[in-house]
Amino acid sequence: MLRNIIQIAVILALAFGGGIWSVRAMLERAVRPGSVTVSAWTAYPVAGTPAADPYTKAHIARNGELPLGAGEGLTFAATKDSAGDAITGNCSYRIEGQMPASRLWTLHAEGFRRGQTPVEGLPDALHSRRVLYGPDGGVRVLASAAAQPDNWLAIPSEGPLSLVLTFYDTELASGSRAYEAEMPQILKVGCDG
């Protein structure tokens, strides 16, 4: 009898532990169900709609996010550069290319460590009305912990990072158009150490 109770307790512990581990693994993943990946950028077009999958809803609730609705815009995030290497604070990156049509876009970096921010007063976010455009209408932004000329995005000097590019009032928000978007490239310029 005691043997049966111990076996049942072990089986239940394994079942609950495995279930908790699998949910946590899905929430930590960079790419979840319903994602749209274009180049190095990943978006979740249905994140702010009732059609979002349970893992995306749990991820949103856990992180305290407020996703944009289907008609409001679309947020893309990149944890790797265009070559497939992880984006880190000890490297500098050039984000360049055409931006998809939108009323407004914003770009900022997020550190995975809580409270990780660049130095106060530095440009830690950019938007479409405050950047210099090239003759072809493209954008060139230098993301670095060290000051850079032209369009500079200050990033934390260490640890893994995510670049977040949000488009407001854009046709990409319909989801089906997001696959067709031409997104800017993320090119590693160099690293310290």
Cα–Cα dist 109/127, whole Å: 13
Residue in 64, 163, 184, 148 with CA at minimum distance from that of residue 111: 163
pLDDT reported for residue 119? 62
- Token pair of 3 as six digits: 């043997």
Cβ neighbours of residue 149 closer than 8 Å, sequence gap 6 or more: 142
DSSP character string of 97-150 = EPPPP-SEEEEEEEESSTT----TTS--EEETTSS-B-TTS-EEEEEESS--SS
Q: What is the pLDDT of residue 188?
A: 95
Longest dimension (CA), the chain: 81
Q: Are 68 and 43 in contact (CB under 8 A)?
A: no
pLDDT number for residue 138: 92
Q: What is the pLDDT of residue 122?
A: 81
d(Cα 152, Cα 134) in Å, to the nearest integer? 15
Span 89-110, average pLDDT: 92
Integer Cα distance of 103 and 32 in angstroms: 28
Find where tokens 């984000």 sit: 95
Query: Regarding the domain with residue range 35-191, which homologous superfamily does it belong to in the CATH classification?
Result: Domain of unknown function DUF1214, C-terminal domain (2.60.120.600)
Of the two residues 20 and 77, the one the predictor is more confident about is 77
Identify the burial level of 182 via C-beta atoms within 10 angstroms of its C-beta, where 0-12 means exposed, 13-18 middle and 19 or more buried: exposed
What is the Cα–Cα distance from 41 to 162, expressed in whole angstroms? 10
- pLDDT score of 175: 58
Q: Domain limits of the chain?
A: 1-30, 35-191
Pick the closest to residue 163 from 95, 66, 68 (CA basis): 95
pLDDT for 35: 74
Q: What letter would DSSP give residue 85? A: P
Give the global pTM: 0.79
pLDDT of residue 127: 93
Specify the pLDDT at position 31.
Answer: 57
| Reported confidence tier of residue 151, pLDDT bands at 50, 70, 90 | very high
Q: For residue 40, give the 3-state DSSP assignment.
A: coil
